[in-house]
Amino acid sequence: MSKLPAGVTSVRIDTPRLSTHLLRSGSDGGVPLVFVHGNVSSGRFYAELMARLPGPRAWPA
């Protein structure tokens, strides 16, 4: 995988049922903004846009 833009981090969230990978940007105090990608693509598609967004959290799912 290529390097993520500045301000975008890779996170894994584990639940009792499954483990989910997401990309995160912005501050913890903002309103979440969720980008949903299709089955044959990845959240990396949104990384450049996420790096440019002001303030809110952005999580591709």
Q: What DSSP designation does 34 have?
A: E
Q: For the chain, how many structural domains are there in total?
A: 1
Chain position carrying tokens 């044959």: 40
pLDDT at 54: 72
Backbone angles phi, psi at 53, to 5 degrees: -70, 140
**Does 34 map to a domain?**
yes
User: Out of 30-34, 39-43, 54-58, which region has the weakest mean confidence (pLDDT)?
Assistant: 54-58
Nearest-angstrom CA–CA distance, 34 and 36:
6
For 30, the domain range is 9-60
pLDDT at 16: 96
pLDDT (tens digit, 9 = 90+) per residue, 21-37?
A: 888 887 777 777 777 77
**Does 4 map to a domain?**
no
| pTM as predicted | 0.60
Does residue 55 surpass a pLDDT of 80? Answer: no
